Amino acid sequence: MGNKFKNFPRVMEDALSLPGVQLFEPKPVSNELLLRVHTRELVDQTKRAWYWEGASLSVGGCVEAAERIRRGEINNALVFDVAAGHHAGPSSAWGGTYLSCLGPTIFNLREQFGPARFALLDTDCHHGDGTRAIFKGDQDVLHVCFCSQDATEDDGTKIDVAVNFGISDKEYLRMVREHFVSRASEFKPGIIFHNLGHDTATGDYGDRGLSKSFFVDLAKMVKECAERACDGRYMIITHGGARADVADYIFPRIIQVLAESRL
Ligand SMILES: [Zn+2]
Ligand SMILES: [Zn+2]
């Protein structure tokens, strides 16, 4: 993951002092919950690796944040994530993400609170193959993934949208409106989950030519979508992206967007 969070939490100080904003320290995810999603081999292998602690705390943070949202203690959350995420499927994981974030999070919500539908938006530059594999065939999960291919699976609940290099901020936002926002409102999810990678920023390893302010505008758009679709229940999970200056710019501003109350 490099050191893109090297200036955190310092750069978030002002954002953290806004009314209603709280910082939670995560606990590691339970073994039991990981085994609902992953094979024992994958979990054991991950436990022996240097990235175990980061991955386990990241997933634990996602599970807890989603529970707090579901219980109504908070309306939305930004979860800082390392070493876990959308390339982790049931039995294999790669690409810097060694445990699934959304698998354990959604399995846990359903176990604690009963059946529910969820909308997943992935705007990291890469295809969310692990998340897709976990929810394949689950038509109560809408997964709209902006990557490098166009595809529709599972009766229209699993969608890929190709994003070309050099797309403008405005055009990307328009595509999110067309392919995600319109579907999410109809789908009536309990919560919207968003894998927000910034590897698509200009000069980063998944460069699509996007500006820093794009990511803030995107969070604002999806937050407004969540307000219409599910009473504002919205959880962002950080994903790919290596540029520390982009992380420093976008995440404090995204916290500010999330903290703005509905009028
Ligand atoms: Zn995809
Ligand atoms: Zn990526």
Give tens-digit pLDDT for 46-74.
999 999 999 999 999 999 999 999 999 99
Ligand nearest the Cα of residue 143 is 1
Buried-exposed string 194-231: b where 16+ CB fall within 10 A, e elsewhere: bbbbbbbbeebebebbbebebbbbbbbbbbebbbebbe
CA 181 – ligand 2 centroid, Å: 21
**Segment 161-165 mean pLDDT:** 95
User: What CA–CA distance (Å, rounded) separates 134 from 104?
Assistant: 10
Q: Which of 154, 99, 161 is nearest to 125 (CA)?
A: 161
Q: To the nearest whole percent, how much of the chain has pLDDT over 70?
A: 98
Ligand nearest the Cα of residue 133 is 1
CA 239 – ligand 2 centroid, Å: 7
**Segment 96-112 mean pLDDT:** 98
pLDDT at 228: 96
**pTM recorded for the entire structure:** 0.97
CA 217 – ligand 2 centroid, Å: 19
CA 82 – ligand 2 centroid, Å: 12
Place 261 in a pLDDT band, splitting at 50, 70 and 90: confident
**Segment 97-121 mean pLDDT:** 98
User: What CA–CA distance (Å, rounded) separates 99 from 56?
Assistant: 8
pLDDT at 263: 47
pLDDT at 198: 97
Mean residue pLDDT of the chain comes to: 96
pLDDT at 92: 97
Ligand nearest the Cα of residue 121 is 1
CA 261 – ligand 2 centroid, Å: 31
Place 1 in a pLDDT band, splitting at 50, 70 and 90: very low
DSSP for the chain reads -TTTTTTTTGGGHHHHTSTT-------PPPHHHHHHHS-HHHHHHHHTSTTHHHHHHHHHHHHHHHHHHHTTS-SEEEE--SS-STTB-SS-BBTTB-S-SHHHHHHHHHHHH----EEEEE-SSS--HHHHHHHTT-TTEEEEEEES--EEEGGGTEEEEE--TT--HHHHHHHHIIIIIHHHHHH--SEEEEEE--TTBTTSTT---B-HHHHHHHHHHHHHHHHHHHTT-EEEEE-----HHHHHHHHHHHHHHHHSPP-
CA 212 – ligand 1 centroid, Å: 22
Place 29 in a pLDDT band, splitting at 50, 70 and 90: very high
pLDDT at 93: 96
CA 59 – ligand 1 centroid, Å: 21
Ligand nearest the Cα of residue 132 is 1
CA 124 – ligand 1 centroid, Å: 9
